Structure 1
Amino acid sequence: MQKEILLITNYFPPEKGAAANRMHSIAENLGKAGYKVKVICPLPNYPSGEIFEGYRGKLSISEKTTFGEVSRLWTWPSNSTNKFIRLLSMLSFSLSLAVFFIFRKTPKTIFIQYSPVFIGFTAVCLGKIFSKKIILNVSDLWPLAGLEMGILNKGFYYTILLKMERYCYKKSDLIVGQSEEILHHISKLEDKKPLFLYRNIPNFKVPKINDRASSKEVKIVYAGLLGVAQGIFEICEKITFPQNVSFHIYGAGPDAERLKSLQSKNVYFYGEVDRAVLHTELKKYDLAFVPLVNRIYGSVPSKIFEYTRLGLPILYFAGGEGGKIIAKESLGWVIPVNNTKKLQEFINTVSENELYTYPKEKVQNIAVSVFNFEKQFKAFISAIETV
């Protein structure tokens, strides 16, 4: 009898981003491993906060895929910074999720993308009500991350979120975390709970490294979400790029409009492009920039694993576990988080010669060797089959 598993996530392609890419990769590779996979997600709307073209006006839609079936459910989308509006948006998908469980047959094992908190909590509650085996995927330590980013404040609402977080940990049969810090945090709350480290390692074909053009210009690239946590606009305002250094930006998010209007020397904004196109574009650049405004406990930006597989050394400006990985594996330069003075000093002094400290081919070879998707996924399958 074919094994079945249900994946519940708030993010899934055609949406872009680390969570959507990770969940699609898990679904696809579970299918290759012999599982019949079902995915429940909202009608696509991230990060614009508007339902994508082709999905508008629908209450739900089911799509057949190579790995199984994707059920996209109604949601009231929003990317508002207003907490009440965002809460209503999350509750709308939670309601759709509950209706789906009541009226549709679902597999015995469910894999839940935890965060947003309300959706993860709803899925765990439904899992317990319907006697499911629950695998919880924790990619961010909400609500702690919200507190560190300044989005949340301690008080009644924060306390409720904490109780929901701990309920989810307690009721799960296996917890999968994207960083050692996440697993350490959970182990302090649930010391006997089975835990599994699952890095955001991509699985695309390793591209050939292009020879660097004979140019003295150093080209730095950022590609990803343009939001409050990344602070790309503020960095562009604070940092001056000398004549031999240029900064190139790809992505979408709340700061996109401000970046379009930015008139800054040697800063270029290209908007959002398809992932396959982006991988081709990234070959042009010398190093990749990974920033966060504040160090967020538990966060390891997935860009580390994607960029280095492409052969790009990392200019890391985000703090925490990610910086330790960069330093340990010799994958690039680590600047203390939020220290714009040190960042400016690096940019002022970086030169063509500096790039030979971390040559592209060496960075790619390390990434392929250390961050092995097949090895990790095989261990992951073993972990979920013991639940």
Structure 2
Amino acid sequence: MKNLLIITNYFPPETGAASNRIFHLSEGLQKHNFKVSVLTPLPNYPKGRVFDGYRGRFKQTSIENGITIHRLWIYASNSKNKLLRLIAMLSYSISLIWFFIWNKIPKTVIIQSPPLLVAFTSVLFLRSKKRKLILNVSDLWPLAALELGALKKNFSYRILEKIERFNYKHADLILGQSDEILTHVKSIYGNKNSFLYRNYPDFKAQVPNGAIQPLEKLKIVYAGLLGIAQGILKLCEELDYSKIQFHIYGAGAEQLAIEGLIKNKPELDIVYHGEVSRQELHSVLTQYDVTIIPLLNRIYGSVPSKIFEYARLGIPMLYFGGGEGETVINKYELGWVANASDYAKLNTVILNLDRSKLALENRIKIQNVALSHFDFSAQLTQLIKVI
């Protein structure tokens, strides 16, 4: 049995794509005869405070489904203040250093990036000719922050670029969530070993059991993080509600602003359902006509994991983010696309949407595409061959 350590900023009971991705990876490796341990902060995301039951602790170790999970102290914050967020990342980095000093580290380590500084700390302290470091890159930082407007091309940005390159240089293998990520890495280190590791889901989904009969208004649903990158508040303000009803599930930084908008503008046909478990979400999503996957701006390297999860559920999608995600939607005929940030085009697409593609036949077709092309087990088998 091969020992393997995964270092991540996100892990259940936290919710979201990053948490689900690492959970499925650790569970899958455990089932393939790896002895897996996970290093993660005390759960705090996306609320920005440590969850009840974990507060007041410096460290908690537990064994769950055969996986050893070490939860370390963090100064939790989801503040928009850059200094507080930096302190939060540095606090977890300090906890990691403490753990590295006092514990034996396996010869194979998978490191999640971003956060960039956490990945840098791990690579800096664990690089060794006797150890294999695998960098799992899910977003391109600092480039993504630049495209989101969170950073400017200044001295701080150049420092982050140097950190990014350091991480790539000293990683023995790069796992990229998209072809664009791997292209970016190879533009810096052309001979770097890499592997396309998509965020495919690992759950059993029921076959769609009935055709949706759209009423006068189309029921569109968004489920996920209500953060800055997703731009749900802006979406709420820009949608044309004459022929749609917009349903929202999730939590995050924009939640209060969205609730305020709904209260102050009741004429907007928006229903906010709050946050529900992933299992419950899978059940309720199938009640809607179409799901929307938005990004406030096109982010190079980003392919939202929702694409693969919703395909598994057989739900038609409206993609509003550009880039490689748009390519996937078009290639596999999973729904419709609108140019990122072009709200007029988005409303036009919705107005002219072919409702025949909401029927049971097309939903089954979408689910069959997921079963054939987005197979978690097949991908994991190929990954194991290179780690």
**TM beyond 0.5:** yes
Amino acid in the other structure paired with 1:93: Y
Does the 8 Å CA contact 1:176/1:198 hold for their aligned counterparts? Answer: yes
Name the counterpart of 2:108. 109
308, 320, 330: which one aligns with 1:317: 320
Name the counterpart of 1:303. 306
Name the counterpart of 1:268. 271
Does the 8 Å CA contact 2:212/2:360 hold for their aligned counterparts? Answer: no
Does the 8 Å CA contact 1:241/1:348 hold for their aligned counterparts? Answer: no
Name the counterpart of 1:219. 219
Name the counterpart of 2:190. 191
Of the structure 1 ranges 351-360 and 181-190, higher mean CA displacement relative to structure 2 is found in 351-360
Name the counterpart of 2:228. 228
Does the 8 Å CA contact 1:115/1:139 hold for their aligned counterparts? Answer: yes
Name the counterpart of 2:353. 350
Distance 1:178 1:104 in 2: 30
Amino acid in the other structure paired with 1:227: G
265, 284, 289: which one aligns with 1:286: 289
378, 381, 387: which one aligns with 1:378: 381
Unpaired runs of 5+ residues, structure 1, are: none
Name the counterpart of 1:249. 248
1:61 corresponds to 2:60: yes
Name the counterpart of 2:169. 170
Counterpart of 2:199 in 1: which secondary structure? Answer: coil
Does the 8 Å CA contact 1:289/1:315 hold for their aligned counterparts? Answer: yes
Distance 1:351 1:142 in 2: 38
Distance 1:152 1:281 in 2: 37
Distance 2:245 2:174 in 1: 42
**Alpha-carbon offset, residue 140 of structure 1:** 0.4
Distance 1:67 1:32 in 2: 9
Amino acid in the other structure paired with 1:376: Q
Does the 8 Å CA contact 1:27/1:67 hold for their aligned counterparts? Answer: no
Name the counterpart of 1:238. 238
Distance 1:221 1:292, change over 3 A: same
Distance 2:162 2:179 in 1: 22
Counterpart of 1:367 in 2: which secondary structure? Answer: helix
**Alpha-carbon offset, residue 220 of structure 1:** 1.0
Counterpart of 1:353 in 2: which secondary structure? Answer: helix
Distance 1:74 1:349, change over 3 A: same
Does the 8 Å CA contact 1:292/1:317 hold for their aligned counterparts? Answer: yes
Distance 1:159 1:358, change over 3 A: farther
Unpaired runs of 5+ residues, structure 2, are: none
Counterpart of 1:111 in 2: which secondary structure? Answer: strand
Name the counterpart of 1:341. 344
Name the counterpart of 1:77. 76
Does the 8 Å CA contact 2:295/2:340 hold for their aligned counterparts? Answer: yes
Deviations 1:200-253 (A, max 9, x none): 00010021203135442421111001011111111111112124x211110010
1:201 corresponds to 2:200: yes
TM-score (norm 1): 0.96
Does the 8 Å CA contact 1:313/1:358 hold for their aligned counterparts? Answer: no
Identity %: 49
Work out the number of aligned pairs and report it: 382
Amino acid in the other structure paired with 2:248: I
1:210 corresponds to 2:213: no
Of the structure 1 ranges 53-62 and 205-214, higher mean CA displacement relative to structure 2 is found in 205-214
Distance 1:124 1:130 in 2: 12
Does the 8 Å CA contact 2:211/2:359 hold for their aligned counterparts? Answer: no
**Alpha-carbon offset, residue 187 of structure 1:** 0.6
